[in-house]
């Protein structure tokens, strides 16, 4: 597979390490009420769709960016690649 | 019809006119006591044991394509019970014992061949871990044997002992491990279940569950609604898709695992060999092909195909372990969808929906589990109680912190 | 026989070769198959199951029959297609699957027993008595199974891997591929034209018709001559594109040296190419399919097109008198070409009642071949004429054409399903192709040469347009454009066996039995009968089997469906897939900065992940490794030792929020870590299980140096980058892995400070007051070499770790050794390191095994509840905090000389050896030279409360059962006085 890195252009997927569902960005607040249930859902449950999947890849043998790749799990077609940091910010994460 | 050598001879002498269909092709009935979704190894085994052990005869197996077309028809055929953890080992040992009597039980020669499985040791820490595992196996009533290099050289002279990047320092063997003719497992269970009254409904795709007031009443299918007292889902790589129709999210990701077979060769590899310093395991089929595999590709996929990096990685492992493989040719490769769970261990449990039961999360180890999975799922469906060897395979173990994590990789399915 | 004229062989040169020990001669340009045929050899192999005599069926890579073992020794190559082996001088090949000889094969008895050995017979028998399967039946089956044999000798040849990029990959250099390459090449695109054959041109090399005013091979040569002058076109002959992978990546194998006796010096045997293409054009032509009839498998019965190829391209024929059996017009072309090459065609047998005629040969319209004779080679064929009479023709060869299948394997590699096309009675690719691929010529079902040329140009033009290039398609030359007329005909009905899959011996009867027994889905048919599972993967057989099943079920072939092709297109040597990653080069070696020095000291090295670390440093007179390790430990604890700890992961954490970032990464508190101080940190995974441990040294307000274990260095760095980029993207923190940037040495033992004082530059005070336990600082050593000093201890002694930029690592080790001479400084390796850490009860890899929690490790109270750190929440789950949770404890054997096996399980005295009685397990064990007893650490249920209890460490696997006392895991200096000294 080829991942079109937003900063570096097309790179072989072999340079990357896969993590999984991009929802892993949405880490709950560990100090909130009901944190245990929220963390169970966060750490263990997955939509695991057959179709478009937003997922995290790490450019380990590259610039060490975490990327959010939108890829179809039926065809492996990649329709978008974003810096995970930008996605995290857009989902309200900060410091 | 009972199969036997005499029958084969008789039919040969009478023009093979007497052979009948291995299973019927019935029309769906409006209602069954138990409907199994998924005509793979686990679903067919469940139906077989429901009929043969739990006296459930109003049972149907629903399969969207042809039976045995999923992972039972596309795996590397290994059976073993060399597990470490208490939640797993009794179950897999139960499964191995069922394999040992399977052919006589269902009157089909699935070629259960206990030529042994060997896990190679390359570091001291690996030896410590394998000793712990071997001891756990023995404590659970399984067999295990620690082999030193001298023994290995006698039994597996073709391995790379002299020029290895990661030298072989020993091995953990389970002599009762081995291989089984995978397609025959599906067919044997199908034939056995069918002859006991189970309806096997091929080309019948489940399109939804009928759930009212928290109770599952049956399944909507491409061949109409089929009512059921209980519905058991055993659809492996498609678990998340199917259970999503019941509104459930699962602790499962679907990943592609590639498997490989070489051209046919005269016998060279006695049993199953697993490399301990790379991703490669191998056996040789009765037809002569080397059947081998390695790691999963590592990304979510339902495509039933993988990519070159893993193919090369597996070949590298093979060459590192067995330098004589260089001129052996890869004949065919394929990909299966693995239901990778969050701790690498399966789930056989009720759901929060009454009458809906689930069997899945087998990762890439479902084949060896087929008989016990079927038996335990049948037990659960028939009695509403988990089988004694499958009590740990609960949905809520993640919530409650009772993971069964053989590899110690945590909630990262592609590492299991 | 060799025909007197023609052929693309060099008759001026002779090549000598052997088959089954017999000497023959051939010419450059020959394949082994054509050369054997020219020498009158028809029998080349035996079939898999019935051991039927077999000759060549095809003239290419789809060959199912003529498989031989090529070469000898470590180069022995089983199952090699004689049809693709380029002849070289001195070639040796051997027949397979026959004993004692190819002509007299004992297992041909199977053929007599074939009525008992029908499809799937083995599923129905061999069940009783149960033990007989493994003891008797299976060994017999295994011995009989398999085709060729491999040597267990290492392959002496090298294989390479290459990566190559192009705009347009064209697969197949027949008329369609050549025209596509010409179109794209002239338009300036980067083109790769790959073909499996040694000679490009594809089917054109086997034809007699003209293109423009040239012969077909000459036209191909002319196009190739132009292409070879274009710098933007890369011609890759002997290159099989075997797989279509995601995003335009194709796998290909170039057979660099297979046509040579052995690879030239420094050259690989084969190269695995990963071809990155923006567009691909599949121009792989078509494959002819047989017709099934009684005894259609004898040597001398070939595909008609193959017979034509042998005559035209290689000037060879299996006999001087032949017949042709066809259901389509292409069989007529074969007959005409054979006659043109001087071969007598006894009859042209055409199943079509309305078959055209062909001058010079008797055409038997509406006739069928119903049987053949000839045990080791064809003698005669029996034909049933349209009028029902039979006629026997004495012929030495029969060309059979059941029509042509587009060679569409690669179009299926991303699970595209072909579509049935009635007009050519074959499956053709659909639009569901691998993205970027288009199909041209016969591969698409366009069977005339004109159509191949025009579609080749058209697909290239479209591909160029997709890439933003405008093409001017070349003028199409005049050539044959005959329509392909066929009336489907799959098998001749009859009682005798008619073969569908030649190699696996699947006959029409087997398909009928599969149907009778309900194995009707195409995949069931395939798996039950083994149809299409031979080394040609059904290229010659699948279509026939499907057609028979369709007939039996009363469905159309389109309804019956088809299996899809999977990679590889043709079998690929594992050596090529592995490339250079073999033997010692399987994985790279990472060497520590002191590696050269340690080698000079005679160190024994051990693999630790990819690292090579010094395991111990034996001295003259030491007889066992234990003796060495004991000395190293005792010397370190008595005076001072040094150990290279560079392999520990090092992560430089900088930025305003560095400390707060670590506070969230580690389960224990880090926000208040003072500058100049080091703290031990435990990292959890988000699921609450211990992930890694190490130290964090705060060198400045905005600068912390983190260490990780050797094993987890990469994973921890990745995890921290995830936290930084994905969880807290706005924290002011930067990370970089500096594992390789700093050489780091542990200097441990009571004299370590004295030693260090000799190295540290004046002006830096490292006295106990100024630089106490868990201090850190940036200093210079050895007259200005920048360094970092950490007062941390894994051994439990007064100890430091000193780091310098890696390029000074070797020099520093030599300086340390020189400075330490007066203290009898002892270098120690990983074994002594391990002993000392077990003596101190420090957890390492065996304890941090991914299954243990902070609680298990005795560090439960470290997990702060006052902050949100990764893993804290889920570590509180019930199942991880049961009252009998495992706790890290120490073990001492009742008999100090008794070794405690790591991996032993813990049982109460008198308890049965059952899992139910399992109380825990031993993780790490060693002999403690300080305590003069074996010791161990491990996990025990509720262990913290069980000090002093006696248990057994049992290891039935190794036959050990040792009585042990439960003690604290801190065997030495539990109060930590030494390290604070």
Q: What is the pLDDT of residue B140?
A: 97
CA dist B130 to B103, B255, B404, C449, C893, Å? 31, 27, 17, 64, 22
Give the mean model confidence (pLDDT) for residues C422-451: 97
Q: Which of B254, B299, B303 sits opposite A48 (nearest CB)?
A: B254
Q: Which of B341, B366, B382 is the last residue of a domain?
A: B341
Q: Is A63 on the interface with C (CB under 8 A)?
A: no
C375 and C494: one domain?
yes
Q: Which two tokens stand for residue C769?
A: 């007051």
Residue C815 sits in which domain range? 590-647+741-836
- Which residues fall within 8 angstroms of residue C618, CB to CB, at 6 or more apart? C602, C604, C625, C628
- Which residues fall within 8 angstroms of residue C776, CB to CB, at 6 or more apart? C676, C677, C678, C697, C698, C699, C705, C788, C789, C790, C791
Q: Which of B279, B308, B341 is the last residue of a domain?
A: B341
Residue B290, beta-bridge partner list: B284
Q: What is the pLDDT of residue C177?
A: 98
- Which residues fall within 8 angstroms of residue C787, CB to CB, at 6 or more apart? C778, C779, C780, C781, C802, C803, C804
Q: What is the pLDDT of residue C90?
A: 98
Say which CATH number the domain at C896 has: 2.40.30.110
B276 and B349: one domain?
no
Q: Which of B321, B341, B361 is the last residue of a domain?
A: B341
C410 and C391: one domain?
no
State the smallest CA–CA distance between residue A7 and chain C in angstroms.
Answer: 15
**Distance between CA atoms of C250 and C273, rounded to whole angstroms?**
8
Chains that touch B (3 or more CB pairs under 8 A): A, C
Q: Is C726 on the interface with A (CB under 8 A)?
A: yes
Q: What is the pLDDT of residue C484?
A: 85
Say which CATH number the domain at C697 has: 3.30.70.1400
pLDDT band at C141 (very low <50, low <70, confident <90, very high): confident
CATH number of A2-25+34-90: 3.30.2270.10
The answer, yes or no, to whether residue C483 has pLDDT greater than 90, is no
Residue B391 within any structural domain of the chain: yes
CB contact under 8 A, A19 and B300: no
C259 and C335: one domain?
no
C351 and C371: one domain?
yes
pLDDT band at C276 (very low <50, low <70, confident <90, very high): very high
Residue C300 within any structural domain of the chain: yes
Residue B14 within any structural domain of the chain: no
C121 and C41: one domain?
yes
Q: What is the pLDDT of residue C884?
A: 96
- The C-alpha torsion from C392 through C396 and C402 to C404, rounded to 10°, is -160
The answer, yes or no, to whether residue C144 has pLDDT greater than 90, is no
Q: What is the pLDDT of residue C255?
A: 98
**Distance between CA atoms of B313 and B309, rounded to whole angstroms?**
6
**Distance between CA atoms of C880 and C114, rounded to whole angstroms?**
62
**Distance between CA atoms of C672 and C636, rounded to whole angstroms?**
34
Q: Which two tokens stand for residue A22?
A: 């991009």
B322 and B208: one domain?
no
Residue B4 within any structural domain of the chain: no
The SS3 call for residue B319 is helix
Q: What is the pLDDT of residue C133?
A: 86
Q: Kindly list the domain boundaries of chain A, sorted by start residue.
A: 2-25+34-90
B292 and B263: one domain?
yes
B373 and B225: one domain?
yes
In DSSP notation, C645-691 reads -TTSEEEEEESTTHHHHHHHHBSS--TTPPTTBEEEEEEE-TTSSEE
B278 and B349: one domain?
no
Q: What is the pLDDT of residue B214?
A: 96
* Cβ contacts of C359-366, under 8 Å, gap ≥ 24: C360/C336, C361/C335, C364/C391
**Distance between CA atoms of A68 and A81, rounded to whole angstroms?**
6
Q: Is B338 on the interface with A (CB under 8 A)?
A: no
Give the mean model confidence (pLDDT) for residues C434-462: 98
CA dist A19 to A8, A54, A69, B360, Å? 20, 11, 11, 22
In eight-state DSSP terms, residue C593 is T
State the smallest CA–CA distance between residue C882 and chain A in angstroms.
Answer: 17
CB contact under 8 A, C566 and B145: no
Q: Is A29 on the interface with C (CB under 8 A)?
A: yes
Buried b or exposed e, range B177-213, using 16+ CB within 10 angstroms: bbbbbbbbbbbbbbbbbbbbebbbbbebebeebebee
The ipTM of this complex is 0.99
Q: Is B295 on the interface with A (CB under 8 A)?
A: no
C45 and C80: one domain?
yes
Residue in chain C lying closest to B113 (CA): C134
Residue in chain A lying closest to B298 (CA): A18
CB contact under 8 A, A88 and C721: no
C40 and C69: one domain?
yes
For A61, other C-beta atoms within 10 Å of its C-beta total 12
B89 and B154: one domain?
no
The answer, yes or no, to whether residue C231 has pLDDT greater than 90, is yes
Q: Name the burial class of residue C800, with classes exposed (0-12), middle (13-18) and buried (19+) by CB atoms within 10 angstroms of its CB.
A: buried
Give the mean model confidence (pLDDT) for residues C210-238: 97
Q: Which of C836, C863, C897 is the last residue of a domain?
A: C836
**Distance between CA atoms of C614 and A13, rounded to whole angstroms?**
35
B349 and B409: one domain?
yes
Query: CB–CB of B343/B403 below 8 Å?
Result: yes
Say which CATH number the domain at C395 has: 3.50.50.60
Q: Which of C151, C168, C185 is the last residue of a domain?
A: C151
**Distance between CA atoms of A51 and C966, rounded to whole angstroms?**
55
Q: Which of B138, B286, B307 sits opposite C142 (nearest CB)?
A: B286
Residue B375 sits in which domain range? 29-81+84-107+182-251+343-415
B264 and B393: one domain?
no
Tens digit of each residue's pLDDT (9 = 90 or more) over B150-193: 999 999 999 999 999 999 999 999 999 999 999 999 999 999 99
pLDDT band at C132 (very low <50, low <70, confident <90, very high): confident
Percent of all residues in chain C with a pLDDT value above 70, rounded to a whole number:
100
**Distance between CA atoms of C831 and C795, rounded to whole angstroms?**
12
C754 and C830: one domain?
yes
Query: CB–CB of C748/C972 below 8 Å?
Result: no
**Distance between CA atoms of B332 and C539, rounded to whole angstroms?**
13
Name every chain A residue with its beta carbon within 8 A of the beta carbon of B252: 46, 48
The answer, yes or no, to whether residue C326 has pLDDT greater than 90, is yes
* Total of domains in chain C: 6
**Distance between CA atoms of C256 and C240, rounded to whole angstroms?**
11
Q: Cα–Cα–Cα angle for C473, C476, C478, nearest 5°?
A: 175
C200 and C245: one domain?
yes
The crossing angle, in degrees rounded to 10, of helices C658-665 and C713-722 is 110
Q: What is the pLDDT of residue C331?
A: 97
Q: Name the burial class of residue C478, with classes exposed (0-12), middle (13-18) and buried (19+) by CB atoms within 10 angstroms of its CB.
A: exposed
The answer, yes or no, to whether residue C128 has pLDDT greater than 90, is no
C534 and C638: one domain?
no
Give the mean model confidence (pLDDT) for residues C574-590: 97
Alpha helices in C320-469, H assignment, sequence order? 330-340, 449-466
Name every chain B residue with its beta carbon within 8 A of the beta carbon of C524: 66, 68
Q: Which two tokens stand for residue C294?
A: 């009684």
In eight-state DSSP terms, residue C134 is I
Q: What is the pLDDT of residue C640?
A: 98
Q: Which of C152, C851, C924 sits opposite B158 (nearest CB)?
A: C152
Tens digit of each residue's pLDDT (9 = 90 or more) over C455-473: 999 999 999 999 999 999 8
Give the mean model confidence (pLDDT) for residues C149-161: 92
Residue C780 has phi, psi (to 5 degrees) of -125, 150
- Which residues fall within 8 angstroms of residue C37, CB to CB, at 6 or more apart? C1, C56, C310, C314, C316, C317, C318
Residue B24 within any structural domain of the chain: no
Q: What is the pLDDT of residue C976?
A: 93
Q: What is the pLDDT of residue B208?
A: 98
- Low-confidence stretches of chain B (pLDDT beneath 70): none
Q: What is the pLDDT of residue C143?
A: 83
Give the mean model confidence (pLDDT) for residues C948-956: 98
Query: CB–CB of C432/C416 below 8 Å?
Result: yes
Q: Which of A13, A14, A48 sits opposite B253 (nearest CB)?
A: A48
C266 and C387: one domain?
no
B272 and B294: one domain?
yes
**Distance between CA atoms of B312 and C46, rounded to whole angstroms?**
33
Residue in chain B lying closest to C877 (CA): B401
Q: What is the pLDDT of residue B202?
A: 97
Give the mean model confidence (pLDDT) for residues C536-556: 96
Best CA proximity match to B341, nearest among B369, B374, B366:
B366
**Distance between CA atoms of C795 and B227, rounded to whole angstroms?**
68
Name every chain A residue with its beta carbon within 8 A of the beta carbon of C718: 17, 58, 60
Mean pLDDT of chain C, nearest integer? 97
Q: What is the pLDDT of residue C198?
A: 97
Sign of the torsion formed by the C-alpha atoms of C636, C642, C647 and C651: positive
Residue B22 within any structural domain of the chain: no
Q: Is A50 on the interface with C (CB under 8 A)?
A: no
B189 and B320: one domain?
no
Best CA proximity match to B288, nearest among B266, B261, B259, B270:
B266
Q: What is the pLDDT of residue B368?
A: 98
Residue C220 within any structural domain of the chain: yes
Q: What is the pLDDT of residue C142?
A: 86
Say which CATH number the domain at B172 has: 3.30.9.10
* Total of domains in chain B: 2
Alpha helices in C467-532, H assignment, sequence order? 508-516, 522-529
Say which CATH number the domain at C614 has: 3.30.1360.120
Q: Is A36 on the interface with C (CB under 8 A)?
A: yes
Q: Is C731 on the interface with A (CB under 8 A)?
A: yes
CB contact under 8 A, B111 and C122: yes
Containing H/E element for C927? strand C920-928
Residue B395 within any structural domain of the chain: yes
C798 and C784: one domain?
yes
Q: Is C143 on the interface with B (CB under 8 A)?
A: yes
Q: Which of C516, C530, C566 sits opposite B19 (nearest CB)?
A: C516
pLDDT per residue as tens, chain A (95 positions): 999 999 999 999 999 999 999 999 999 999 999 999 999 999 999 999 999 999 999 999 999 999 999 999 999 999 999 999 999 999 999 99
Say which CATH number the domain at B57 has: 3.50.50.60
Residue B394 within any structural domain of the chain: yes
B299 and B319: one domain?
yes
Size of interface A-B (CB pairs under 8 A): 68
């Amino acid at each position: 597979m080829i991942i079109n890195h937003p900063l570096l252009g097309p790179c072989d997927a072999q340079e990357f390490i896969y993590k999984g569902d991009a929802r892993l960005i949405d880490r709950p607040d560990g100090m909130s009420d009901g944190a245990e249930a929220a963390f169970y859902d966060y750490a263990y449950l997955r939509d695991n769709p057959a179709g478009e999947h937003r997922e995290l890849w790490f450019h380990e043998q590259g610039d060490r960016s975490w990327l959010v790749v939108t890829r179809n799990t039926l065809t492996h077609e990649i329709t978008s690649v974003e810096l995970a940091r930008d996605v995290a910010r857009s989902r309200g994460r900060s410091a | 019809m009972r199969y036997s050598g005499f029958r084969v001879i008789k039919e040969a002498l009478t023009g093979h006119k007497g052979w009948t269909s291995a299973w019927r092709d019935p029309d769906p009935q409006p209602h069954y006591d138990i409907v199994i979704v998924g005509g793979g190894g686990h679903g067919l085994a469940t139906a077989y044991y429901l009929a043969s052990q739990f006296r459930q005869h109003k049972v149907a197996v629903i399969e969207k394509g042809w039976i045995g077309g999923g992972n039972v028809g596309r795996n590397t055929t290994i059976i073993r019970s060399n597990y470490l953890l208490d939640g797993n080992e009794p179950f897999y040992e139960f499964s191995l014992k069922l394999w040992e009597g399977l052919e006589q039980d269902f009157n089909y020669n699935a070629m259960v061949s206990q030529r042994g499985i060997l896990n190679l040791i390359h570091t001291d820490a690996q030896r410590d871990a394998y000793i712990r595992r071997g001891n756990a196996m023995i404590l659970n009533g399984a067999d295990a044997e620690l082999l030193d290099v001298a023994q290995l050289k006698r039994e597996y002279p073709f391995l790379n002992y002299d020029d290895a990047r990661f030298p072989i320092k020993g091995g953990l063997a389970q002599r009762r491990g081995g291989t089984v003719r995978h397609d025959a497992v599906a067919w044997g269970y199908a034939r056995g279940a069918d002859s006991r009254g189970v309806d096997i409904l091929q080309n019948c795709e489940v399109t939804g569950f009928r759930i009212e007031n928290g109770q599952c009443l049956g399944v909507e299918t491409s061949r109409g609604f089929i009512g059921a007292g209980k519905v058991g889902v055993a659809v492996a790589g498609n678990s998340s898709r199917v259970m999503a129709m019941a509104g459930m999210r699962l602790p499962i990701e679907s990943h592609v695992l590639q498997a490989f077979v070489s051209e046919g060769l005269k016998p060279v590899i006695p049993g199953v060999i697993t490399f301990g310093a790379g991703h490669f395991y191998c056996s040789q089929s009765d037809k002569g092909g080397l059947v081998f595999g390695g790691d999963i590709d590592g990304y979510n996929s339902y495509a039933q195909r993988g990519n070159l990096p893993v193919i090369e990685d597996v070949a590298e492992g093979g060459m590192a372990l067995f330098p004589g493989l260089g001129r052996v040719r890869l004949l065919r490769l394929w990909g299966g969808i693995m239901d990778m769970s969050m701790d690498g261990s399966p789930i056989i449990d009720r759901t929060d929906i009454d009458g809906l039961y689930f069997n899945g999360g087998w990762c890439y180890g479902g084949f060896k589990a087929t008989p016990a999975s079927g038996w335990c799922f049948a037990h659960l469906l028939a009695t509403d109680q988990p089988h004694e060897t499958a009590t740990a395979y609960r949905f809520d173990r993640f919530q409650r912190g009772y993971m069964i994590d053989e590899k110690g990789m945590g909630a990262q399915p592609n590492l299991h | 026989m060799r025909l007197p004229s023609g052929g693309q062989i060099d008759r001026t040169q002779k090549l000598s070769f052997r088959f089954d020990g017999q000497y023959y001669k051939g010419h450059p340009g020959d394949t082994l198959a054509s050369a054997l045929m020219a020498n009158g050899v028809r029998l080349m192999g035996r079939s898999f199951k019935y051991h039927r005599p077999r000759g060549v069926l095809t003239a290419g890579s789809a060959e199912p029959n003529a498989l031989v073992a090529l070469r000898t020794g470590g180069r022995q190559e089983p199952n090699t297609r004689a049809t693709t082996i380029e002849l070289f001088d001195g070639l040796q090949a051997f027949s397979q699957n026959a004993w004692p000889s190819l002509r007299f094969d004992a297992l041909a008895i199977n053929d007599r027993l074939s009525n008992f050995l029908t499809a799937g017979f083995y599923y129905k028998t061999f069940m009783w008595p149960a033990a007989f399967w493994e003891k008797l039946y299976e060994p017999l089956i295994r011995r009989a199974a398999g085709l060729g044999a491999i040597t267990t000798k290492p392959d002496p040849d090298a294989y390479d891997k290459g990566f190559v990029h192009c705009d347009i990959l064209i697969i197949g250099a027949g008329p369609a591929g050549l025209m596509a390459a010409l179109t794209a090449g002239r338009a300036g695109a980067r083109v790769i034209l790959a073909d499996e054959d040694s000679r490009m041109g594809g089917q054109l090399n086997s034809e007699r018709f003209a293109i423009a005013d040239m012969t077909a091979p000459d036209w191909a040569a002319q196009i190739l001559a132009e292409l070879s002058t274009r710098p933007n076109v890369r011609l890759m002959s002997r290159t099989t594109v075997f797989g279509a992978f995601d995003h335009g990546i194709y796998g290909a194998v170039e057979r660099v040296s297979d046509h040579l006796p052995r690879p030239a010096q420094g050259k690989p045997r084969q190269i695995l190419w990963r071809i990155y293409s923006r567009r691909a054009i599949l121009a792989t032509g078509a494959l002819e399919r047989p017709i099934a009839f009684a005894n259609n498998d004898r040597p001398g019965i070939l595909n008609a097109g193959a017979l034509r190829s042998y005559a035209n391209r290689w000037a060879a024929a299996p006999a001087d008198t032949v017949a042709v059996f066809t259901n389509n017009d292409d069989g007529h072309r074969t007959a005409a070409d054979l006659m043109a090459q001087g071969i007598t065609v006894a009859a042209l047998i055409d199943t079509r009642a309305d078959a055209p005629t062909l001058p010079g040969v008797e055409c038997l319209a509406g006739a069928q071949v119903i049987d053949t004779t000839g045990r080791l080679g064809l003698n005669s064929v029996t034909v049933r004429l349209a009028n029902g009479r039979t006629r026997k023709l004495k012929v030495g060869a029969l060309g059979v054409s059941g029509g042509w299948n587009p060679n569409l394997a690669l179009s299926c590699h991303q699970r595209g399903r072909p579509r049935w096309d009635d007009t050519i009675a074959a499956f053709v690719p659909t639009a569901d192709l691998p993205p970027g691929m288009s199909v041209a010529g016969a591969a698409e079902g366009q069977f005339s040469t004109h159509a191949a040329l025009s579609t080749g140009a058209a697909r290239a033009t479209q591909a160029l347009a997709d890439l933003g290039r405008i093409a001017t398609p070349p003028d199409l030359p005049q050539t044959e454009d005959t329509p392909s007329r066929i009336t489907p005909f799959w098998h001749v009905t009859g009682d005798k066996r008619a073969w569908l899959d030649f190699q696996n011996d699947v006959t029409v009867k087997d398909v009928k039995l599969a149907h009778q027994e309900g194995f009707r889905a195409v995949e069931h048919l395939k798996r039950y009968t083994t149809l299409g599972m031979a080394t040609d993967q059904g290229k010659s057989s699948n279509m026939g089997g499907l057609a028979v099943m369709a007939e039996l079920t009363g469905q159309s072939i389109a309804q019956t469906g088809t299996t899809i092709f999977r990679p590889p297109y043709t079998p690929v040597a594992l050596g090529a897939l592995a490339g250079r990653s073999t033997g010692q080069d399987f994985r790279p070696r990472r060497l520590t900065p002191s590696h050269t020095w340690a080698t000079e000291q005679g160190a024994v090295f051990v693999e630790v992940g990819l690292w090579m670390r010094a395991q111990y440093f034996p001295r003259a007179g030491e007889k066992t490794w234990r003796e060495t390790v004991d000395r190293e430990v005792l010397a370190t604890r008595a005076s001072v030792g040094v150990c290279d700890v560079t392999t520990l992961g090092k992560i430089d954490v900088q930025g305003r929020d560095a400390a707060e970032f670590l506070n969230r990464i580690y389960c224990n508190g880090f926000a208040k870590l003072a500058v100049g101080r080091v703290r031990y940190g435990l990292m959890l995974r988000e699921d609450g299980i211990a992930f890694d441990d190490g130290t964090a040294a705060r060198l400045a307000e905005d600068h912390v140096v983190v260490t990780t274990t050797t094993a987890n260095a990469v994973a921890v760095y990745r995890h921290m980058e995830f936290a930084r980029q994905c969880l807290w993207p706005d924290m002011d923190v930067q990370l970089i892995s500096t594992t390789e940037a700093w050489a780091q040495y542990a200097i441990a033992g009571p004299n370590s400070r004295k030693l260090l004082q000799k190295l540290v530059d004046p002006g830096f005070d490292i006295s106990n007051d100024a630089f106490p336990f868990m201090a850190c600082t940036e200093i210079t050593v050895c007259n200005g070499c920048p360094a970092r000093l950490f007062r941390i201890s894994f051994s439990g002694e007064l100890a430091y770790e000193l780091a310098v930029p890696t390029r000074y690592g070797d020099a520093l080790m030599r300086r340390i050794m020189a400075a330490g001479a007066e203290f009898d400084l002892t270098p120690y390796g990983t074994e002594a390191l391990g002993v000392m850490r077990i003596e101190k009860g420090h957890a390492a890899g065996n304890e941090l095994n991914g299954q243990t929690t902070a609680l298990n490790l005795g560090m439960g109270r470290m997990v702060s509840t006052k902050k949100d750190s990764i893993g804290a929440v889920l570590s509180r789950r019930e199942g991880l905090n049961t009252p009998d949770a495992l706790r890290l404890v120490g073990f001492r054997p009742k008999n100090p000389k008794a070794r405690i096996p790591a991996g032993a399980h813990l049982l109460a005295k008198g308890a049965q050896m059952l899992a139910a009685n399992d109380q825990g397990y031993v993780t790490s064990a060693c002999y403690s030279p300080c305590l003069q007893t074996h010791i161990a650490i491990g996990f025990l249920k509720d262990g913290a409360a069980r000090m002093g209890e006696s248990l057994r460490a049992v290891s039935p696997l190794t036959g050990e059962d040792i009585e042990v006392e439960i003690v604290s895991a801190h065997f030495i200096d539990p109060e930590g006085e030494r390290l604070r000294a």
